[in-house]
Amino acid sequence: RLCDFKGCDRPDLQPSHINGWFWTATLQKLAPTTERNQGDWSPTGGIGLPQPDNREYKQNGAPENCLALLNQFYNDGVNWHDVACHHKKPFLCEENDALLKYPEATPKRPHEDDIEDIGTPEQPRNRQEENHKRMKRIAQAKEAAEFTKHNEFSSSTETISGVAASLLDPELTEEQRLNILKYVESEEAEGEVLDEQGLKKLLLVFEKKNLKNQELRIKYPDNPAKFMDSEIELHDMIQELKAVAAVPDLYPTLVELNGIPSILELLSHPNTDIAVAIVDLLQEITDVDILNESSEGAIILIDALRKQQICALLVQNMERLNEQIREEADGVHNTLAIVENLTEINTAIAYEAAQQGLMTWLLKRLKQKPPYDANKLYCSEILSILIQNNNENRLLLGELDGIDILLQQLAIYKRHDPVTTEEQEYMENMFNCLCSALMTKENRERFLKGEGLQLMNLMLREKKMSRNGSLKVLDHSMSGPDGRENCNKFVDILGLRTIFPLFMKTPKRNKKRLISSDAHEEHVCAVIASMLRNCKGSQRQRLLSKFTENDHEKVDRLLELHLKYLNKLDIVDREINQQQKTSNIDEDEEAESNYLKRLTGGLFTLQMIDYIVLEVSATSEAIKQRVLQILNLRGASVKAIRSVMREYAENLGDDGDSEWKEQEQAHILSLVDRF
């Protein structure tokens, strides 16, 4: 993962996105990410840039601080990608001596030895347990055969039950031992392999069990005892169907045999246990790792699910589940996992899911008490996925009063910190959802009317963990031409008294407040720059007067930050100049990649700082002279500011239309000329 906690400001780890990656198991540093001949970083990603690209931070503010191994996810082979740490992925483990000794030194949990005693030997709980026992017998048999073959056992050897015990019998010949071992191995293979013919038989039996249950329910609607046995058989058959998840190459056959409509039909079964079992089955067959094993099977399966409007069916089922019952709460969790799996493979499903009722259900679920639970956390993650890259979904969120709901959920943390790390993640997800929603003009208007600015201002004053997220939300709500009303309102509600103390002194980082000083300074400077760009009349005068009070102390702080980030940028530029150029990368692509590295390495914050310098210098000769005086004392030059701002004008983002962009470019260049 990326080093982003206390102590990560060491010089040898800077800049962190290049030198700050390390293995958590051994605490060993990875090679710098600029050395492409070392490590397995992918040459591409979600936005077409070499990894690590910190894509989610640029798109929705979630830093990609963890390393994941993705298999052909972007048709790039098996490679390293930086991902946000809230994504749930399987762990890759290594045989590290220190890690292997950990279980030995860890005390057992109470009743740990009793786990395998649940149920009876004659009736295993499910097929997976039976398979587990079969595999255990095979392993014991192999071990015993090898043990006997090399005459390494002694009288002190512990008794091994079942097949293994018979293999250790000294009266058995070598041929008998091999025959027993061959039988056990063939029995395992025969039971485990599922082929096309086996799938056809499974589906046929499944259809028969389903039809039998339907007929009995119709015939005896008021006598559950008559159809209960058929329901149990149907439930067991659904468990049997999970075998297809291990063979994704059979998914086209599953679709061809019309298995998908039959499976989805049971989501509306009167018995919620059957519906939850179907959800569990769907969660397994849509697992991302399994789908990535067969791209053809994945495409055919997902197309079939979309034709049946799977998202609408899942939402209808969730509306009747009672989360006070643990099994049904797990069913809700697995339903959300299905949506996450599908959207990860095909992003177009995010729009379909929102339109088919999932957005409405998520917002309704977030409003329910208690303030936090595990399923609420998952709901916040799914909501973030739905709106992070889809403008139609952001607009739908606003139309469903989603901005007010998000503000209500966040208001809980105005004066109280989250109790657990999971609840902290939930709060951060809520802030990220709000930031994504504020990328549309309509939602900024709703945020203003819903007194979102007042809530964010209070959070900044309370100095709780919510301060970090509120600062980020302010940045999103006030940026670009659509942030004009929010900028003026923030000045009116005395927000300058809140933001400038944070500008003058960056809060110390501690365990509870995990935002880095660089991220804090970036957001604060961006907020002030947005106000200088958007505020007019009396609000602008009040803002500019802040830079002249107390003997221009805020100008001094501006130049201090300018020199700090100019130095950071020099380090990044040197690293870019030293990196080896590869012939297979297009020059334009390499230039864009290098520009993004410079932005994340401190250029963006430097641009905001220098924009503020130009704006305040243009309004006061005294401020301009103060700026020149400090630069001369520190041996710096105005050329650096001019160069940074010309580059900024050339690379303005897409916040407004082309007319606004042209006006802003002309305004910045005129400020540069006058400076």
Neighbouring C-alpha atoms within 13 Å toward the C-beta of 82: 26
Tell me if 364 sits within 8 A of 325, measured CB to CB.
no
72/163: higher pLDDT: 72
Residues 491 and 572 in one domain: no
DSSP 479: S
Residues 461 and 557 in one domain: no
Q: Return the exposure string of 10-41: e unless at least 16 CB atoms fall within 10 Å of the residue's CB, then b.
A: eeebbbbbbbbbbeeeeeeebebbbeeeeeeb
Tell me if 89 sits within 8 A of 61, measured CB to CB.
no
| Position 299 confidence tier, pLDDT thresholds 50, 70, 90 | very high
pLDDT for 111 equals: 43
Q: Return the exposure string of 263-276: e unless at least 16 CB atoms fall within 10 Å of the residue's CB, then b.
A: bbebbebebbbbbb
Cα 448 from Cα 442, distance rounded (Å) = 10
Q: Considering only 26-35, 140-149, 607-616, which range has the smallest mean pLDDT?
A: 140-149
pLDDT > 70? residue 663 = yes
Q: Considering only 266-270, 380-384, 474-478, 582-586, which range has the smallest mean pLDDT?
A: 582-586
Tell me if 306 sits within 8 A of 349, measured CB to CB.
yes
- 668 assigned to some structural domain: yes
Residues 518 and 570 in one domain: no
Q: DSSP labels for 505-542?
A: SPPPP-SS----HHHHHHHHHHHHHHHHHH--HHHHHH
Most confident of 87-96, 239-248, 331-340: 331-340
| Position 84 confidence tier, pLDDT thresholds 50, 70, 90 | confident
- 22 assigned to some structural domain: yes
**pLDDT per position as a tens digit, 8-57:** 888 888 888 888 888 877 778 888 888 877 788 888 887 878 889 888 77
Q: Which of 94, 120, 142 is the last residue of a domain?
A: 94
Residues 558 and 669 in one domain: yes
pLDDT > 80? residue 159 = no
pLDDT for 174 equals: 63
- 462 assigned to some structural domain: yes
For β-strands 22-23 and 28-29, DSSP reports them as antiparallel
pLDDT > 50? residue 120 = no
Cα 436 from Cα 28, distance rounded (Å) = 35
DSSP 29: E
Please give the average per-residue pLDDT across 634-654, as a whole number.
86
Residues 519 and 625 in one domain: no
Cα 380 from Cα 340, distance rounded (Å) = 12
Q: Which of 61, 94, 127 is the last residue of a domain?
A: 94
pLDDT > 90? residue 637 = no
Cα 618 from Cα 149, distance rounded (Å) = 90
Please give the average per-residue pLDDT across 88-94, as a whole number.
73
The pair of three-digit structure tokens given for residue 493, joined into one six-digit string: 């509600």
Query: pLDDT above 70 covers what percent of the chain?
Result: 82
**pLDDT per position as a tens digit, 518-567:** 899 999 999 999 999 999 999 999 999 999 998 899 999 999 999 999 99
Cα 167 from Cα 149, distance rounded (Å) = 10
86/500: higher pLDDT: 500
- 482 assigned to some structural domain: yes
pLDDT for 589 equals: 82
Residues 557 and 667 in one domain: yes
Alpha helices in 193-291 (DSSP H): 196-219, 224-241, 251-256, 259-265, 272-285, 288-291
pLDDT > 90? residue 329 = yes
- Give CA separation, 649 vs 588, 646, 665, in Å: 19, 5, 5
| Position 140 confidence tier, pLDDT thresholds 50, 70, 90 | low
Q: What is the 3-state secondary structure (H, E, C) of 97-117?
A: HHHHHHHHHCCCCCCHHHHHH
pLDDT for 127 equals: 47
Least Cα distance to 558 among 598, 500, 516, 645 occurs for 500
Residues 609 and 668 in one domain: yes
pLDDT for 484 equals: 93
Domain that holds residue 493: 451-536
82/587: higher pLDDT: 82
**Residue 141 amino acid letter:** A
Rg (CA), the chain: 31
**pLDDT per position as a tens digit, 228-258:** 999 999 999 999 999 999 899 999 999 999 9
Count of residues for the chain?
A: 675
Please give the average per-residue pLDDT across 386-390, as a whole number.
93
| Position 582 confidence tier, pLDDT thresholds 50, 70, 90 | low
| Position 461 confidence tier, pLDDT thresholds 50, 70, 90 | very high
pLDDT for 434 equals: 96
Residues 594 and 656 in one domain: yes
Q: Which of 94, 121, 145 is the last residue of a domain?
A: 94
Neighbouring C-alpha atoms within 13 Å toward the C-beta of 642: 10
The pair of three-digit structure tokens given for residue 265, joined into one six-digit string: 């039909």
pLDDT > 70? residue 655 = no
pLDDT > 60? residue 137 = no
- 201 assigned to some structural domain: no
The torsion region of residue 162 among left (phi > 0), alpha (psi -120 to 50) and beta comes to left
For the chain, give percent helix, strand, coil, nearest 5.
70, 5, 30
Furthest CA-CA distance within the chain: 105
Cα 238 from Cα 217, distance rounded (Å) = 18
- 199 assigned to some structural domain: no
> Residue 467: which H helix or E strand, with range?
helix 466-478
Residues 632 and 593 in one domain: yes
- 379 assigned to some structural domain: no
Domain count, the chain: 3
Q: Considering only 105-109, 316-320, 379-383, 667-671, which range has the smallest mean pLDDT?
A: 105-109
- Say which residues have a Cβ less than 8 Å from residue 457's Cβ, sequence separation at least 6: 470, 490, 493, 494, 495, 498
655/472: higher pLDDT: 472
- 344 assigned to some structural domain: no
pLDDT > 90? residue 394 = yes
Cα 168 from Cα 454, distance rounded (Å) = 77
Spell out the long-range contacts of 65-71 with Cβ–Cβ below 8 A and sequence spacing 24 or more. 65/1, 65/2, 65/4, 66/1, 66/2, 67/1, 67/2, 67/21, 70/42, 71/289, 71/292, 71/293
Least Cα distance to 393 among 448, 424, 347, 453 occurs for 347
413/126: higher pLDDT: 413
Please give the average per-residue pLDDT across 59-85, as a whole number.
83
pLDDT for 189 equals: 39
Residues 492 and 569 in one domain: no
Cα 157 from Cα 42, distance rounded (Å) = 50
84/354: higher pLDDT: 354
Query: pLDDT above 90 covers what percent of the chain?
Result: 52
**What sign does the CA torsion over 584, 588, 593, 598 have?**
positive
Q: Cα angle vertex 172, ends 169, 174, to 5°?
A: 120
Cα 464 from Cα 413, distance rounded (Å) = 8
pLDDT for 182 equals: 59
Least Cα distance to 475 among 447, 511, 505, 446 occurs for 447
pLDDT for 2 equals: 87
Tell me if 474 sits within 8 A of 523, measured CB to CB.
yes
Cα 365 from Cα 221, distance rounded (Å) = 33
Residues 653 and 562 in one domain: yes
Please give the average per-residue pLDDT across 492-516, as a whole number.
82
Q: Cα angle vertex 280, ends 278, 282, to 5°?
A: 70
pLDDT > 70? residue 162 = no
Cα 2 from Cα 24, distance rounded (Å) = 9
Residues 16 and 90 in one domain: yes
pLDDT > 80? residue 300 = yes
| Position 69 confidence tier, pLDDT thresholds 50, 70, 90 | confident
